[in-house]
Structure 1
Amino acid sequence: MHPLRRTLLALTALAACLTLATATAAPAAAAPPPPAAMASMGDSITRAFNSCGFYVDCPSRSWSTGSTGSIESHYLRIRGVSPSLAAYNDAVSGAKVADMAGQAQRAVSQGVGYVTILVGANDVCTSSESAMTSVADFETRFRAAVQTLADGLPQALVFVASVPDVKRLWEVGKGDLAARTAWSTFGICQSLLANPRSTAAADVARRDRVRQRAADFNAVLARVCGERPTCRYDGGAVFAYRFTLSEISTWDYFHPNATGQKALAAVTYAAGYGW
């Protein structure tokens, strides 16, 4: 057979195979039905602390359940397809992973169909490096909370956001006098933010270890969430987000301001269920 004819026949066969594969491929998974009620679990980030005033919770600006239109929260986005959606903000400022079991019980009592979880910042941002939550304890506590949700709300969908990259906060704020002053005055995240201008090897190594602890927590979140078909992890989207100082509250230079909450809402919703 002529080489050219052999090539044409091979290409024709390949095209036929591709056409058949396309025709028989499974359709893309449709978004699940929107919930009738949702709840948020977490800490001061989900309470939108310091996003509307000095050292106060501002839940109406929460990335998850906030009602302020400009934030474009999960609640407001889902309400576009589920107008009667009810929302409960069960997060508590200062909460750690040890508090998630109690928050999960609260969500169960509310009978919700969708739960968001953002936790871990207070487990890594502590008074000193030695005070950080261990990875093993973090997993035990988080697994217990997820089990509570699974037992009490077996059909509910759970969305788990990754722990933010706390070292990014140091990167964007270390050159700002107001940020450094706030960190020192209020004792904010000293495990990471102590001696912010130091380039000493010990301080550089400490910052890297604290960042690694956040990454280790995220590995736990991914693993535990991945064990359940009704749980979706954000794939590290929040950890990877390169936030700027303009998205941080000038009350403490730690929490997201309204702009930061809006960015958090967009990043997390894009990694979610697609309602």
Structure 2
Amino acid sequence: MRRHRALAATALAASALVAGGCAATAPEPTTTPVAVTETPRSAPAVGAMAVVGDSITLGVSACGSQEACPQASWAVGSEPEVDSIVQRINDELGANPRATPIARLGAGVDYGVDSVDLIASTGADLVLILLGANDACKPTVDEVTPPAEFAAQYSAMLTGIAEALPDTRIVALSVPDVLRLWELGRTDPETVAMWGASPSCRSLLAEADSDATADVERRAAIEETVDAYDAAIIAACDAVEQCTSDDGAVHAVRFEVEHVSAIDSFHPSIAGQAALADAAWPVVASAISP
């Protein structure tokens, strides 16, 4: 049975495994009571986990500097305040999976496609994917990944992973709401100046305090592009049997000022990483439930 989008955050979806075969011959009736006990279903093992992502997964700017800080990662971190996915798997299942972040600064969906062999080499039982922000956040609008291209590459990535690791569960997470980042910083002169001095994400953050028609339309186009990415992620995941989509849960996280690093006013802080872990956990729990 194909695993579709995750259920609400308070529920764990169970996959029904239907086994075909011949019916056994019924036993003769007996008047002797027979005690029937049901064997509990245990959660499948998660011995290895791979996480495909970008600087967010690496915890960049979360720990007081612009350096990567994997211990604060929403997925693989050890920071108690984050309560990362790997920590929650440990708490819920008593497992301590080997977690491999396959992530790179500036990574887009093409990085995921190029990393299929590396993902396969981990032998992961569970693969988490958080990509797409850098496809929308580009130095220029012309460099933004077109939605149709994003959709084709995301589908190729999921298909490649599924073919290489046919028993692996895959969790496809939506793109964080990058427009919310602009909303939080647009009225702060220091933040606007910081964004203006950086070549990163100018497709969205250039002229951040401008209400000129061209700038308003440019931001709206980026928002529409990210929405199209999220729709493509759901569609690509629905086409792969062992994939579970978050149905937009990560995108729905409404960041506040405390969720954004004061170092660069761009990447998640420790509180922001924790918010991402909170949003991702229900769909991960659904994917690994028996």
TM range (shorter): 0.7 to 0.9
Q: Matched residue of 2:129: which SS?
A: strand
> 1-side partners of 2:260 and 2:151: how far apart?
29
- Cα separation, 2, equivalents of 1:258 and 1:230: 31
Does residue 213 in structure 1 map to residue 225 in structure 2?
Answer: yes
1:158 pairs with one of 155, 170, 174: 170
- Is the CA contact 1:52–1:258 (under 8 Å) kept in the aligned structure 2? yes
Equivalence for 2:109: 97
- Is 1:143–2:143 an aligned residue pair? no
What CA deviation, in whole Å up to 9, does each residue of 1:95-146 have, x standing for no partner? 1111102333212101010011000111100112111011122122211211
For residues 40-189 of structure 1, what are the structure 2 equivalents within 5 Å? 40-80=51-91, 81-189=93-201
So what's the TM-score if we normalise by structure 1? 0.86
Alignment partner, residue 14 of structure 2: 29
Aligned residue identity for 1:129: V
Report if aligned partners of 2:126, 2:170 keep a CA contact under 8 Å in 1. yes
Count of equivalent residues = 248
The residue matched to 1:48 in structure 2 has which SS? coil
Change (3 A) 1:199 1:104: same
Q: Which residue of 2 aligns with 1:5?
A: none
1:191 equivalent in structure 2: 203
Deviates more, 1:49-58 or 1:259-268: 49-58
Name the CA distance, whole Å, in 2 between partners of 1:179 and 1:149: 39
Query: Which 10-residue stretch deviates more, 84-93 or 208-217?
Result: 84-93
1:32 shift after superposition: 5.1
C-alpha distance in structure 1 between counterparts of 2:212 and 2:198, whole Å? 23
**Structure 2, gaps ≥5 residues long:** 1-12, 16-41
Q: Which residue of 1 aligns with 2:248?
A: 236
Q: Deviations over 1:62-84 (max 9, x none)?
A: 11111222211110000121433
CA distance in 2, matches of 1:189, 1:133: 13
Whether the aligned pair in 1 keeps the contact of 2:75 and 2:277 (CA below 8 Å) is yes
Partners in 1 of 2:72 and 2:195 — Cα distance? 23
> Out of 34, 38, 45, which is 2:49 matched to?
38
After superposition, the CA RMSD in angstroms is 1.6
Alignment TM-score, normalising by the size of structure 2: 0.82
| Separation in structure 2 between the aligned mates of residue 84 and residue 121 of structure 1, nearest angstrom | 29
Structure 1 letter corresponding to 2:225: R
For 2:216 and 2:114, the matched residues in 1 are separated by 36
- 8 Å CA contact 2:158–2:240 kept in 1: the answer is no
Give the Cα–Cα distance (whole angstroms) in 1 for the partners of residues 127 and 262 of structure 2: 30
The runs of 5 or more residues in structure 1 that have no matched partner are: 1-27
Higher helix share: 1
Could you tell me how far apart the structure 2 residues matched to 1:210 and 1:126 are? 10
Write out per-residue CA displacement over residues 196-235 of structure 1, whole angstroms, 9 at most, x where no aligned residue: 1111111111110001101111111000001122111111
- Give, in angstroms, the shift of residue 54 of structure 1: 2.3
